[in-house]
Amino acid sequence: MVVVNWLQVLFNSAVTGSLYLLAAVGLTLTYGLTRFPNFAHAEFMALGAYAGYTIAEQLKLGFPYSFIAAFISSAALGAASYLLVFRPLTHRGATIIHLMVASIGLDFFVRHLIKQVWGGEQLSFRMVWPYFDVGPVRITGLWVALILSAIVMVGVMHIVLTRTRLGKAIRASANNPDLAMASGVDVEKIALVVWIVGAALAGVGGLFRAADTRLVPLIGWEILLPAFAVVILGGIGSFYGALIAAYVIGLAENFGVVFLVMFKLSTDYKFAIAFLILILTLILKPSGFGRLFGEGGKVV
């Protein structure tokens, strides 16, 4: 009989959910504004992780600095991707398929650049995190930092989206880009801002994942599938939908692993859980949680 520490599983779900949320927010928001699934998003996560590694482990500057480095380097990559690849393609009339394939190409390109710089070997963070126990739950400083980052991100995004001129323009542009233009909004400028912020958050997500596990060039792809599952379960383009979906998938994955162990199945199947949720959503309710937040689920 396996003894399960359910509270620990619950806490781990919050950790996983926070990671997926940071990874998915940019993916869903850029979809809302540019209308294609960006596979190169995986490398926004990877670059953040590697940049953070260099700062923390090679330059020994400490985690806060590697956090900033992840944020900035991925933001820059996001801006470059939009300005140099996707915006010019859109101007030339590229369809969703063209853009999607281009994003896969960009992903390969960036991943190989990363390999050139950091090598293909597995790297790991040596940094030791303080830990403490709350009742039966073991908590590390890294996990606290991850959950706090997600909470702060949600708070800031919520205020920006509902209270500011920029945020309202983001929601309007995602809902109806032509009408936004016909209201005097420079929709491409708004899209650029969203690409930058979304990529930066993905970079931070990648860094947390790397610090928690290890660092390999495919690290972004490992998170990309669950991130897409979050986007789809949350309703494509919906920020609040993604918020709920990230934690739902976090719970499903962590409790799923417990059941895999109970039924003596390989825990490798845990990677299939997000995939299963993705497929089930598409079959049963393609709009995901999006409709909870109004017509068409476009409540970014």
Partner 1 sequence: MSTILKAVDVVAGYGKLVVVHKVTVELKKNEIVVIVGPNGSGKSTLIKSILGFSKLFDGKILYENQDITGLRTDRLIRMGIGYVPQINNVFTNLTVEENLEIGAYPKKDKNEVKASISEVYDMFPVLRQKKNERAGNLSGGERQILALGRVMVLKPKILLFDEPTASLSPIAASQVLSYIREICDSGISVLMAEQNARKGLAVSDRGYILVDGRCVKEGSSKEILEDKEIGKLYLGLKA
Q: Which CB sits closer to partner 1, 268 or 295?
A: 295
Q: Which amino acid is at 220?
A: G
Q: Which is nearer to partner 1, 45 or 243 (CB)?
A: 243
Which of the stretches 6-14, 15-23, 179-187, 257-265 binds partner 1 when contact is defined by CB under 8 A?
179-187
Is 215 within 8 Å of 122 (Cβ atoms)?
Answer: yes
Q: According to the binding rule CB under 8 A, does residue 295 interact with partner 1?
A: yes
Judged by CB under 8 A, which of 168, 270, 285, 291 binds partner 1?
168
Alpha carbons 215 and 206: distance in angstroms, whole number: 9
Q: Which of 169, 223, 236, 274 binds partner 1 (CB under 8 A)?
A: 169
Q: Is there binding between residue 88 and partner 1 (CB under 8 A)?
A: no
Under the binding rule (CB under 8 A), the answer on residue 298 touching partner 1 is yes
Type of residue found at 4: V
Q: Toward partner 1, which CB reaches closer, 140 or 287?
A: 287
Residue 134 β-bridge partners:
137
175 binds partner 1 (CB under 8 A): yes
Residue 33's nearest CA partner among 156, 159, 245, 178 is: 178
Q: Least Å distance between CB 274 and partner 1?
A: 27
By CB under 8 A, is residue 282 in contact with partner 1? no
φ/ψ of 62, rounded to 5, equals 95, 160
**Residue 132 beta carbon to partner 1: minimum distance, rounded to whole angstroms:** 43
Residue 186 has phi, psi (to 5 degrees) of -85, 90
Tell me which of 91, 92, 126, 165 binds partner 1, using CB under 8 A: 165
Token pair listed for 196: 């930058």
Span from 11-19, 47-55, 191-199, 288-296 in contact with partner 1 (CB under 8 A): 288-296
Number of neighbouring beta carbons within 10 Å of residue 218: 12
Looking at 182, 268, 283, 284, which residue binds partner 1 (CB under 8 A)? 182
Amino acid in the structure at residue 240: Y
- Asked whether position 172 contacts partner 1 by CB under 8 A, the answer is yes
Longest CA span, the chain: 65
For residue 178, the minimal CB distance to partner 1 (Å) is 6
Sign of the Cα pseudo-torsion (256, 261, 266, 268, in order): positive
Query: What is the rounded distance in angstroms from the CA atom of residue 78 to the CA atom of residue 40?
Result: 9
Question: Residue 18 and residue 258: Cα distance in Å, rounded?
Answer: 20
Residue 50 beta carbon to partner 1: minimum distance, rounded to whole angstroms: 37
CB neighbour list of residue 49: distance below 8 Å, 6 or more residues apart: 70, 203, 206, 207, 209, 210, 215, 219, 220
- Tell me which of 178, 266, 283, 284 binds partner 1, using CB under 8 A: 178
* Choices 102-110, 146-154, 165-173, 276-284; region in contact with partner 1 by CB under 8 A: 165-173
Decide: is 176 part of the binding site for partner 1 (CB under 8 A): yes
> Can you tell me the distance from the alpha carbon of 232 to that of 235, in angstroms, rounded to the nearest whole number?
5
Shortest approach of partner 1 to residue 172 CB, angstroms? 5
Those residues with Cβ within 8 angstroms of residue 221's Cβ, 6 or more apart along the chain or in another chain: 42
Distance CA 20, CA 14 (A): 10
Q: Under the criterion CB under 8 A, does residue 264 sit at the interface with partner 1?
A: no
Site stretch for partner 1 (CB under 8 A), options 16-24, 80-88, 264-272, 292-300: 292-300
Binding site for partner 1 (CB under 8 A): 165, 168-169, 171-172, 174-176, 178-187, 293-296, 298-300
